[in-house]
Amino acid sequence: MKATAVAHANIALVKYWGKRDEARMLPEAASLSLALDRLRTTTTVELGDFSADSFTLDSRAEDPSRARALLDAAGIRQRARIESRNEFPTAAGLASSASGFAALAVAAAAAAGLRKTPEELSALARLGSGSAARSVPGGWAVWENESARQVFSPTHWDLRFCIAVCADGEKQVGSRDGMRSTRETSPYHGAWIAQCRRDLPAALHLLAARDLPGLGALAERNALRMHADALAADPPLLYWQPATIACLQALRALRSSGVQAWPTIDAGPHVVAICAPADADAVEGRLRSVPGVTELLRCAPAGGATLLP
């Protein structure tokens, strides 16, 4: 009746930005991501005869409706008491829905005594948040249809991901609304989706070959093209802060001095720099000195969602 699971958030190198089916939470194009060790969420689900569902995130009460949709889809009718804890600064706006819904899917199925395959758990997590489908298998994961699958293990390639937290800024438009409005109003959206369909096979090839300059440059282009698509929405979606652009420039300068590091950016202001472990100190030191960067978090590859004993 009660179970606890942990899961890691992930960063996409080929991003998901657009749904082909909103009700079923299916993406227009396949995406590729890596789970990150320090972006960890622990979620406990208790099922019982409670008067209503409840959901707390870091001890704050949250709306349980998205979690309920996931429980309903799993056939769980009992009320749920859900407690989620992020081991990273949510206040800074780092993505937590992926790790949160992945941990919720695994914990809820276990609490209800349901035997689910990893694919079924990924499909369940997807109903909470699309990117959560990729946090269930963890490692390098590809998501295209109902569920995501791990295509390379976290040990395939020892990389570092330095997250520069770029100010809190004003409240942004969330991914759900942002990608809907982009799909409906951006004249560039068709080109963006076509690009992702070309980027995925190229990225998998570069990943298999552990080609950092190739994959890093592809990830930077893919992220900037996603933002170009969002910028072209009506009303425009501008997720960046001055520190975001300063980080992009800083990474460019680092590369011209021989340090290999490339950026990616989700639907927010923070910059995630991809580099080899040997370069992580230099990258972190440089990004830390960028005005407006309030915090740095260095991550390594992580595995999938797991149930705690």
Q: Using alpha carbons only, what angle is made at residue 6 by residues 280 and 2, rounded to the nearest 5 degrees?
A: 170
Please tell me whether residue 104 binds ligand DP6 under the rule CB under 6 A. no
Alpha-carbon distance values, 256 to 34, 249, 259, 260, 261 (Å):
26, 11, 7, 9, 10
For ligand DP6, the closer CB: 10 or 279? 10
Would you count residue 244 as binding ligand DP6 (CB under 6 A)? no
Contact criterion met (CB below 8 Å) for 6 and 306 = yes
- Which positions from 188 through 217 interact with ligand DP6, judged by CB under 6 A? none
* Cα–Cα distance, 143 to 297 (Å, whole number): 26
Shortest reach from residue 274's CB to ligand DP6, in Å: 15
**Shortest gap between Cβ of 131 and ligand DP6 (angstroms)?**
3
Shortest gap between Cβ of 253 and ligand DP6 (angstroms)?
26
Q: Which of residues 29-48 bind ligand DP6 (CB under 6 A)?
A: 31
Residue with tokens 């080899």: 276
Is 86 near ligand DP6 (CB under 6 A)? no
- Reading the block at residue 213, the tokens are 């300059």
Q: Which amino acid is at 222?
A: N
| Interaction of residue 8 with ligand DP6, rule CB under 6 A | no
For the chain, the helix, strand and coil percentages under 3-state DSSP, each to the nearest 5: 40, 30, 35
- For residue 118 the two structure tokens come to 């990893």
Cβ nearer to ligand DP6, comparing 29 with 109: 29
Nearer Cβ to ligand DP6 (157/192): 192
Shortest Cβ 102–ligand DP6 spacing (Å): 11
- Region binding ligand DP6 by CB under 6 A among candidate stretches 13-21, 209-217, 281-289, 295-303: 13-21
Per CB under 6 A, the list member of 18, 93, 100, 130 interacting with ligand DP6 is 130
Which residue of this chain has its Cβ atom nearest to ligand DP6 in the complex? 130
Burial 245-279 (b: 16+ CB within 10 A, else e): ebbbebbeebeeeebbbbbbbbbbbbbbbbbbeeb
With beta carbons less than 8 A apart as the criterion, state whether 296 and 165 touch.
yes
Selected binder of ligand DP6 within 41, 44, 84, 97 (CB under 6 A): 97
Task: Give 47 or 233: the residue with its C-beta nearer to ligand DP6.
Answer: 233
Question: What are the structure tokens assigned to 280, written together?
Answer: 């992580």
Considering only 149, 176, 221, 288, the residue that binds ligand DP6 (CB under 6 A) is 176
Is residue 129 at the binding interface for ligand DP6, with CB under 6 A as the rule? yes
In the complex, least distance from residue 239 CB atom to ligand DP6, rounded to whole angstroms: 9
How many chain residues touch ligand DP6 (CB under 6 A)?
15
Q: How far apart are CA 147 and CA 91, in angstroms?
A: 29
Q: Decide: 263 and 244 in contact? Cβ < 8 Å.
A: no
Binding residues for ligand DP6, rule: CB under 6 A, are 12, 15-17, 25, 31, 95, 97, 129-131, 175-176, 266-267
